[in-house]
Amino acid sequence: MGRLTDVVKHLLIINVIVFVAFGLIFKQYAAYLYLYPNEVNFQPYQIVSHMFMHGSETHILFNMMSLFFLGPMVERGLGAKNFLIFYLICGMGSMLLHLALVYIGFLPSNVAVVGASGAIMGIFIAFALMYPDVKLMLLFPPIPIKAKYLMLGLVAFDLFSGVSGLNTGIAHFAHLGGAITGFILMVIWKKVSFLR
C-alpha cells in the first residue's frame, strides 16, 4: 500500500472529527448537516456537509477503510490536487443522480442523503481503471479478486439492488452516481489503463 498520502490523510481526519462531533457528541445537531431532497429541510451548505456525515459506526468504518487502502494509490496516480477535485466531484455526482431520481418520483423525497459513499465509489472505480489487475482481498469471503472484477461486481450489485427496490438501507443510486462520475472523469483525464 505504501505511505499514507496528504489528501487522503486530511480527508480521513476531517471525516472522523465530523463523525465524532456530530455522530457521537452533538448528535442532536447531526440532521442539520444531512442533505434533504425536500424544500422544507434543504439548506445550501448541505450540498457539501452531507459528504462528511455518516449514519453509523459501520458506515464510516467501511468508507474510511476503503479510502485508507485505495485512496493513496489513486492520489499518487492523479496528483494531490486532482485527487481532491475527483473526490469532491464524485460526491457531487452521487448527490445529483440521487436528487434527479427523487425529482422524477423514482425515489422518496423524505429520506436524507448522508455519507462519503459516492466519493468512495468513485475512488473504487478510479482504482480499478488505473490498476485493473491488482488483486484486492475481501473481508467476506477472504479471497483475492482483481480490481476490475470486484468493481464490476459492486456496480452490478448496486444497479440490481437499486432497480429491484431491494431494501438494504443503502443509497444504491448514490453509489452509482459516484461510480458514473468517477468513470467519466477518468476517461476525460485519460487515466484509464486500457485507453493508453
Residue 49 confidence class, pLDDT cut points 50, 70, 90 = very high
Residue 137: its H or E element = strand 135-137
Angle (nearest 5°) at CA 124 between 123 and 125: 90
**What is the greatest pairwise CA distance in the chain?**
50
- pLDDT tens-digit readout, 96-123: 998 999 889 888 887 788 999 999 999 9
- Res 62 pLDDT > 70: yes
Residue 163 backbone dihedrals phi, psi, to 5 degrees: -70, -40
Q: How far apart are the first and last CA of the chain?
A: 24
Please tell me the predicted confidence (pLDDT) of residue 164: 84
Question: Cell triple for residue 95?
Answer: 448527490
Q: Where are the domains of the chain?
A: 6-195
Question: Cα(23)–Cα(3) distance, rounded to whole angstroms?
Answer: 29
| 36-64 average pLDDT score | 88
Write the class of the CATH domain 6-195: mainly alpha
